[in-house]
Every structure is written in structure tokens, then in C-alpha cells.
Structure 1
Amino acid sequence: MRMMHTMLRVGDLQRSIDFYTQVMGMKLLWKREFPDGKFTIAFVGYDTMEEGTVIELTYNWGVESYEIGTAYGHIAIGVANVYDAAASIAASGGNVIRPAGPMGSGTRAIAFIQDPDGYKVELVEDSPLETEFYVTPLAEARA
């Protein structure tokens, strides 16, 4: 088994594709209209759909906005340098809602941005898993 994708409902598909490809540096991997269902989906990501976890952007025809809800948290994206990534995203027109810096309860550098539909995206300094987050490997925790 593997993680395949996260689906987000969006109010303007092209605006969201532009954000994730032009601001976040992803590639548009696949797009298809479903006239009978009155929706269009597009997949974006850094890798292929077969090799990586991607984001499915779903546009239900005629729906321009959604209430995100209190259960949604964020999408996390690993970056080599969170400070540089946040600065680049801001320079590209992205909305940085939490500047790059250490976590409040840890040392790992993070930042938060918000996409055009209001979804939060966390930028995490991409380094090996640290005990700060993962105290015990899952296999050992099950034993």
C-alpha cells in the first residue's frame, strides 16, 4: 500500500493549477473533464502519479467557493531550505501566513502558506526524521 493523493475542492481550477505549478513549483500531471458528473479534476505534484504522493484539485462546475471546515489541518511539503522556499513563494505572489522559523515547541524550521482557496500548506525543512517528531519507529511501537 502507499499514499496516492490528497483531494482539494477548488473554486477556480485554473487559478489553483497556476498557484501549485507557478508558485509552488509542481507539475500538472493529468487533467480530465467529467461532463456527466459536471466536474473536472487535475493532479499536480513534484513526481509522477506512480512514484509520489500528489494533490488532486477537483472543480465542481458552478461552485466558486467552499467552507474549509475545522477538521482540515494542512498539506506538508518538504523543502531543502524553508527560509529560501518561503521567500521564493512570497516573491511569486504566494501568501505566507507564518514566516519561516523554528517550531514553537521544537527546533525544526517550518513556514505556512495559504493557497488561493484558503487551504494551508506547511513547508517543512526536509531532513531525516528526527526524534523531535518520531520518538519510536512504528515497528518498535507495535511490538
Structure 2
Amino acid sequence: MKLMRQHSEEPDVNLTPMIDVVFLLLLFFMVSTSFIRESSLKVDLPEATGQALAEQEAPIDIIIRANGEVLVNDTPIAVATRDALRDLLKTTAGENADPHIIISADANAEYQQIVTAMDAAQLLGFTRLTLATRQKSVETP
């Protein structure tokens, strides 16, 4: 008896549908993911409701004028460097571990000075910062 040898075919796995599904999942997660950049500084953004917020302690006001002059609670700083601002903030805060700091900058002030003020507050561990704004007046036609 002579048996014929059967030639079995190798199973063929088609990877194309699996690759398509993986790419669709990748695309779905890329589109549905929100890319939020977290800052190392916590900033309380002011709300434009027109009502004043009740404060428990007097805040520290940092005023940055358009000509580059910087004042901390009406005390001018000769040279507004990060270290000078940090030292003045430390003495102004006194025993308060995390005072409320309000940065009021002129619309034409240099952005670098605002960042320097925020950086000086961060070096001291102050996290309660508010950037002061004014509510835009709405004109009725």
C-alpha cells in the first residue's frame, strides 16, 4: 500500500486588519486626549463678575508700571531683579507663610517683569497669585 504524502499548507495570517485596528485606536486616543500644559506656578485667574472678593488678610500688591518701575505695597524697588524682589517680598510677608499676592501690571509693561515677579514669589513658596485685570466696559448700542 502506497500512501501519498499530503502536503499541508502553512497557515497564512493576514496582519493587515490588525494593523488597521491598531492605527485606528492610536488615532482615536490622540484625538480624544486633551493636551493641557500644567504650570509650576498656581495662578488664581480673576473672574470678571464685577464683585469684589472678600479677603481675610491684606494682600501684597506688586505694581508694575509701563516705564519699568516696580512697587511692592507702595515701596519702590531701585533695580527690579528677581533677588531684590524676593527679598522685599520676604520682608513684606513677615510671618505669613503664603500671603495673597496681587500683581497689577500696566498693559504696556514688559512681560519679562511680570514673569520676574511671579518667579520671585515662587522661589519663596508663595502660591496664591492673582493677576489684576479690569473689566472691559460694555457699550450698549
TM-score range (shorter-chain normalised) is: under 0.3
TM-score w.r.t. length of structure 2? 0.24
The structure with more radius of gyration:
2
Choose between structure 1 and 2: higher strand proportion: 1
TM-score, length-scaled by structure 1? 0.24
Structure with more relative contact order (C-alpha pairs < 8 Å, separation 6 or more)? 2
